[in-house]
Amino acid sequence: MSDIFDKCHRFVRAPAMIGHRDLQLAARIFARTSPPKNAGPWIEEDGQRLLQFSSNDYLGLASHPEVHARVREVAERYGIASPMGSRLMTGNTRFHIQLEEEVARFKRTEAAMIFPAGAMAMIGTLACLAGPDDLLLLDEQAHATLVCGAKASGAKVRFFRHNDLGHLESVLERSDGSQAKAIVVDGVYSMAGDLGPLADLVDMKHRYNARLIVDDAHGTGVFGPQGRGTAAHFDVEEHVDLHLGTFSKAVGTIGGFAAGQEPVIQYIRFHAPTYVFTKSVPLPVVAATLASLKLLEQADDRRRKLWENARRLQEGLRAVHLDLGHTQSPITPIRLPGSEALYVAEQLLRVHGIWAAPVVYPAVGLGQSVLRLIPTAMHSPSDIDFVVQSIATIRAAMALGTLPIE
């Protein structure tokens, strides 16, 4: 008789996936505790000072004193959990409405709505917008939350090869011309760091009468004038039908959003299960996000420093013959064979005092791994040079077989 838990036992028993020793190391790395205060380039754990290259806090706003001051002020006045209840019941305050108005203004849309988490924005939006009679066309590297939302919708889901416009067009040509459809992509792909070709996708959606939905979690705050995102970078903001995003990256807080036409946002507000059936975002978080969003728009100096650091890091890593793929963003994925990223990450932490995130199967394909580095505006040139030299030293030792592996 089959057991729904069988797959779990197969996962931990199957050395063919990444190897038993690799699996043990992965479990140790991914189960390690993070320092409670881990925003900023330098963090501290058990008295050890660590250089961090795994944070999505691109502009350093998570630790900005103005944001912290606003959180303290609101928490002291209203508490940390208020308002109690969902937005449609007792959780709709003037602060929530103000943040939604600010997001709409920032994204240059008619309306916007906020969710308690970015994943809830992606999953809930797609789950309620599409249905069995509709077609969703997703890039094969679309974020997992978009895939989850698409599948939960019950719509017909088709994947096209990553950033392959020709393949997308062939899928569209074979589709029912009368069927409601949407193209769903990332603005910046979180594992590879490359951009969705939004200008070409706008042309495609017009030619095939489709809608275009863009998850710009890693683009918001980083790309475009005032950090308005990837669509602004490509000058196609008004042609993207629905902007999705998160506050947990460059904004430096937590939560997600959807922004678009007023009727669309109103529909999502009353139908997205991840909005209707969950508690409202706590007021201190709303206040922090309002403060941070204002700072983000004025943070051109920080954005410039972020991009300087990204270029320095990526040029340094390529100079020591590391494969970064085709990244076009600060996301810096070092592509390594087998499970090598696990061992590099372990050595970076234990020997060099650097916190970096390895990515292995199933987040990437079998037989490969990625060490994903993310520079921020708060790193110094010496921080960048230190991590490049440390990785080069570790890989040289691995090549010679002199690296002690436990």
Q: What is the pLDDT of residues 369-378, one digit of tens each?
A: 999 999 999 9
Give the lowest-confidence range in 37-46, 130-139, 248-257, 291-300: 37-46
DSSP character at residue 188: B
DSSP character at residue 84: P
Mean pLDDT, the chain, integer: 93
| Residues listed for the chain | 406
Could you tell me the pLDDT band of residue 19, with boundaries at 50, 70 and 90? low
Place of tokens 């139908």: 271
Residue pair 122/99 in contact by the 8 Å Cβ criterion: no
pLDDT for 32 equals 72
pLDDT for 406 equals 53
The answer for residues whose C-beta is within 8 angstroms of residue 67's C-beta and 6 or more apart is 61, 252, 253, 288, 291, 292, 295
Section 166-177 average pLDDT = 95
Please check the confidence at residue 25 and state whether its pLDDT lies above 80. no
The whole model's pTM is what? Answer: 0.94
pLDDT for 94 equals 97
Which domains are seen in the chain, by residue range?
15-59+300-400 (3.90.1150.10), 64-297 (3.40.640.10)
pLDDT for 7 equals 86
pLDDT for 14 equals 58
Please check the confidence at residue 283 and state whether its pLDDT lies above 80. yes
Question: Distance between CA 187 and CA 195 in Å, rounded?
Answer: 6
Give the lowest-confidence range in 119-133, 291-305, 392-406: 392-406
Please check the confidence at residue 13 and state whether its pLDDT lies above 80. no
| Strands ordered across the beta sheet of 332-337 | 332-337, 368-373, 357-359
Please check the confidence at residue 224 and state whether its pLDDT lies above 70. yes
> How much of the chain, in percent, has pLDDT values that exceed 90?
82
The answer for residues whose C-beta is within 8 angstroms of residue 92's C-beta and 6 or more apart is 83, 280
Question: Distance between CA 395 and CA 277 in Å, rounded?
Answer: 49
| CA 333 to the chain's CA centroid | 14
Section 44-71 average pLDDT = 93
Per the model's pLDDT, the better-predicted residue between 402 and 204 turns out to be 204
pLDDT for 202 equals 99
Could you tell me the pLDDT band of residue 9, with boundaries at 50, 70 and 90? confident
Please check the confidence at residue 108 and state whether its pLDDT lies above 80. yes
pLDDT for 21 equals 66
pLDDT for 31 equals 66
